[in-house]
Amino acid sequence: MEASSFAERALYFFGLTIGRIFYRVRATGCEHLPAGGFLLLPNHITWVDAIVLQLACPRRIGFVIDETFYRNRLLHPFLRTAGCIPITTRQAKRGIELAAERLRAGEIVCLFPEGQLSRSGTLLRLRRGYELIAREGGAPVVPVWLDQLWGSIFSFQGGRFFTKLPRRIPYKVLVAFGKPLSSEAADLAAVREELLKLGEFCFSERPILRQHLARVCLHGLQRNPFRTAVVDGIDCTELSRGRLLGAAAALSREIMHKHPERRIGIVLPPGKGGVLANLAVILAGKVPVNLNFTSSRDAIKSATAQAGLRTIISARAMAKRLEDFPWTPNVINLEDALPPLKLAILRWWIAGLVLPAQLLANSLGIPKQGDRAEAILLFTSGSSAAPKGVPLSHRNILGNVAQFAAMLDARKDDLILAFLPFFHSFGCTVTLWYPLIEGVRTLTYPNPLEAGKIAALAERFRATIMLAAPTFLRAYLRKAEATQLRTLRLVITGAEKLPAALATSFEEKFGKHVLEGYGLTETSPVVSVNLPEPKAKRGEMVQPSSRLGSTGKLAPGMAAEIRAAETGEKLTLHDSGMLWLRGPNIFAGYLDDAERSASVLRDGWFKTGDLGRFDEDGFLYIDGRLSRFSKIAGEMVAHEAVEQKIAAALQLEGKMDRVICVVGVPDEAKGETLVLISSVDIDLAALRARLAENGLPNLWIPRVVRMVPAIPTLASGKLDLGRCNAIALGQ
């Protein structure tokens, strides 16, 4: 026995000593660990998770492992000495009994509830075996999160284990122990929710979130100064990352010295000019405000006044195009501002090539930290009301960029089609700041509706990633040739729900599976996204990364709760209810609107206004926007569900454009009643009869039809709910 004890101590001494050479592990939440036996449930990211956990835990841990590994001729002596507990699916009872005995003896037992290493960095489905062990052993369950291991050589980041260079040595890791759950309370939904909350806590502790957006962009641009940053689809010219940095730095000095105001407006479409203007404003230490130039004059004036704008960066071509635009007193036209700066641009370009990033940032006067200070200001689309100002902090943008980068795992040859406007949150974060920071090339085009021209550009420059709203995909079905999008490896949609018929039609024509995501301006914006399935060897269990009808899994570092829409009562993640989110990408409140901010923010949690639920694999399903529900005779009725029934009855599923919309209007007797807005001729009596035959409740069937030339939509591709409501009311 003493020999065994000595061997165990020797193994732990040498194993942990080697572990400390390569890892710097910081543990938090150790005060939550019970004094007696408990079951430890961590996420599973790398082959060395057990070593990292033991480095973090003050007591010895007994690990439950697959018997195949336990009996491995080379590993068995070490695993037996370390006190590992073998288990097999064919004879699980014995392994459960051994683990329960250890728990009753006051020891720590660790089981990886996912049952396999994550190949995407996200939390997989949790297996039920841990519940039996906890109950049999009469012990509490402690969730624990291992953070920042995704990307190490022992993870599957990049599509491979081991065969990649470590990013740094020693590798910093944060391990967060959660509060104990009783064995009865630790069901699948509860444990997943607690793990996500621990993951959010760890992610929010990352140092990158405290940095300044300008410094991080500068670092990103300096890494590959001769690599193309932007391909402008108008003239097909390319701008390198180094030249972009030089031009932006030179322009930033002009902005800083001549325009003392805090925020600078930008009225430019996606292109070299738009990228340059946003980068220059950030380098000047100011806040860029990309204005939605497709909005009404009143909406633009409202946004300008809310932001306190006195200066706008634009171009003469935009002034000709926007005849009724409410310009500020000062307008900087890039055609006039850049030519006199040629010498300054050259100097800053050379400085970017020779100076270390820190010295260059200091010479530009960029603060070392941005953290929770305002970095950019966006305005909501105003789809249901006047535009609301959404200040996003440096932490918000850098957090969402890091989240999206982890999910997308971009390749060196990737080229993003960047035609979403920068005043749209998805276009701003994912096609502006993300490429600048991560070094991904973009192919810009100013008008997302010109699908034929964009498709030709995608074919010419071999674009690999398309980010679009479903509305824009319909244009490709009409105007693009089947072969023009053959180089795309990812097609991701957001902004509105992706109709199944549209996704099917797109895949049939172009051979590209459309992946749906979900986000909001207030979340910077990416919340969740479906992704291609990771590669698996023959015989390995497939880890799903996409699921039809869902919006994918949550971005890393995000936590979620489901609460009853009317009472706020806490539900499980598997129930349908109001979706609340927490994470580093959540904004801190609306611009100068404390009352509205308080209505959606509570103790760090954000009320999305969407009804959602999660399945056991962690996929998020959005059942609908609360504003697109009507309460009729005490019953919640989803407008989208009624629209689907009407589309089926009228055989409209294959239509490329949205041709109907259901809106709720006040009704004295029933609370609300539904109005159908349509751009196609409808025989209302025949439609009502058909809907009744198909089992739609009478209260759900619209009694009024409003005919319109086209269903109103916004520049982002979303339904213009404000205009639709006005039409429904006969205004």
pLDDT value, residue 69: 62
User: What pLDDT shows up at residue 2?
Assistant: 36
| 68, 162 Cβ separation under 8 angstroms | no
DSSP 515-563: EEEEE-GGGSSEEEE--PPPP--TTSPP-----TTS--EEPTT-EEEEE
Question: Among 65-79, 144-158, 682-696, where is mean pLDDT lowest?
Answer: 65-79
Same domain? 339 vs 236: yes
In whole angstroms, give the CA distance from residue 586 to residue 604.
Answer: 8
263 and 296 together in one domain:
yes
Coil, strand or helix: which one is 724?
Answer: helix
What's the whole-number mean pLDDT along residues 104-117? 88
Same domain flag for 287 and 380: yes
Assess if residue 504 is contained within a domain: no
Question: What is the distance between the alpha carbons of residues 341 and 175, in angstroms, rounded to a whole number?
Answer: 50
Cα distance between residue 329 and residue 727, in whole Å: 36
User: 532-561 burial string, b = 16+ CB within 10 Å, else e?
Assistant: eebeeeeeeeebbbbbeebbbbbbbbbbbb
298: Cβ contacts below 8 Å, ≥ 6 apart? none
Any idea what the Cα angle at residue 578 is, between residues 575 and 584, rounded to 5°? Answer: 110
- Would you say residue 400 has pLDDT above 90? yes
Question: Which residue would you say has higher pLDDT here, 656 or 718?
Answer: 718
> Last residue of some domain: 337, 371, 393?
393
Binning pLDDT at 50, 70 and 90, where does residue 13 land?
A: low
Three-state SS sequence of 71-111: CCCCCHHHHHHCCCEEECCCCHHHHHHHHHHHHHCCCEEEC
**pLDDT tens, 329-352?**
999 999 999 999 999 999 999 999
The mean pLDDT value for 215-235 works out to 94
Amino acid 655: pLDDT: 60
Strand order in the sheet with 465-468: 237-240, 228-232, 441-444, 415-418, 465-468, 490-493, 514-519, 526-529, 553-554
Residues spanned by the domain of 173? 2-205
Residue 227 near residue 240, CB atoms below 8 Å:
yes
H-type alpha helices, 116-187: 129-137
Residue 423 lies in a domain: no
As beta bridge partners, residue 290 has 266
The pLDDT tens digits for 295-305 are 888 889 999 99
pLDDT at residue 636 in the model: 66
Q: Is 315 in a helix, a strand, or coil?
A: coil
Residue 93 lies in a domain: yes
Stated pTM of the model: 0.85
Q: How confident is the model at residue 51 (pLDDT cuts 50, 70, 90)?
A: confident
pLDDT greater than 90 at residue 620: yes
What pLDDT is recorded for position 634?
Answer: 59
Task: Determine the residue type at 111.
Answer: L
**Residue 333: helix, strand or coil by DSSP?**
strand
CATH number (domain holding residue 293): 3.40.50.12780
pLDDT of residue 4: 45
Half-sphere exposure of 338 (CA within 13 A, CB side): 18
**Domain-ending residue, one of 362, 393, 424:** 393
Identify the pLDDT of residue 164.
63
**Range of lowest pLDDT (199-208, 537-546, 636-645):** 537-546
> Is residue 500 situated within a structural domain?
no
Q: Tokens 């992610």 sit at which residue?
A: 203
Q: CA-CA distance, 172 to 151, in Å (whole number)? A: 12
- Residue 627 makes CB contacts below 8 A (sequence gap 6+) with 384, 609, 721
CA nearest to 250, candidates 240, 242, 260: 242
Q: State whether 91 and 229 are in the same domain.
A: no
Residues 74, 127 within the same domain: yes
**Domain limit, last residue, from 184, 205, 226:** 205
In a shared domain, residues 253 and 186: no
**691-697 mean pLDDT:** 78
Mean pLDDT of the 600-610 span: 92
More confident residue, 651 or 222: 222
Q: Confidence band (pLDDT; 50, 70, 90) for 3?
A: very low
Is the peptide bond between 170 and the residue preceding it cis, with omega within 30 degrees of 0? yes
pLDDT digits (tens, 9 = 90+) for 274-286: 999 999 999 999 9
CATH of the domain at 185: 3.40.1130.10
User: Given pLDDT bands bounded at 50, 70 and 90, which one contains residue 437?
Assistant: very high
Mean pLDDT to the nearest integer, 152-172: 70
**Token digits for 186?**
């630790």
Judge whether 194 lies within some domain: yes
Greatest Cα pair distance, the chain, in angstroms, is 89
Phi and psi at residue 700, to the nearest 5°: -85, -10
Confidence (pLDDT) at 683: 81
Q: What is the pLDDT of residues 467-480, one digit of tens each?
A: 988 878 888 988 89
Q: Which two tokens stand for residue 207?
A: 């140092």
Which has more confidence, 68 or 712?
Answer: 712
Mean pLDDT of the chain: 86
In terms of domains, do 297 and 186 share one? Answer: no
Q: 174 in helix, strand or coil?
A: strand
Query: How confident is residue 290, by pLDDT bands cut at 50, 70 and 90?
Result: very high
Residue 83's pLDDT is 65
Same domain, 76 and 218: no
Task: Pick the closest to residue 66 from 94, 80, 85 (CA basis).
Answer: 85
**Looking at the structure, do residues 63 and 8 belong to the same domain, yes or no?**
yes
Query: Span 158-176, mean pLDDT?
Result: 74
Assess if residue 337 is contained within a domain: yes
Tell me what the mean pLDDT of segment 543-572 comes to. Answer: 90
The position carrying tokens 């980010």 is 467
Distance in angstroms (rounded) separating the CA atoms of residues 678 and 707: 5
Residue 609 lies in a domain: no
Residue 533 lies in a domain: no
Number of independent structural domains in the chain: 3
Q: In this structure, are residues 368 and 350 in contact, taking their beta carbons and an 8 Å threshold?
A: no
Indicate whether 230 and 315 sit together in one domain.
Answer: yes
Residues 140 and 239 in one domain: no
| Angle of CA points 409, 410, 416, to nearest 5° | 135
Secondary structure of residue 326 in the 3-state scheme: coil
- Is residue 17 over pLDDT 50? yes
Hey, is 570 helix, strand or coil?
strand
Q: Are 145 and 78 contained in the same domain?
A: yes
* β-strands 465-468, 490-493 pairing: parallel
- Closest listed residue to residue 330, CA positions, set 414, 258, 429: 258
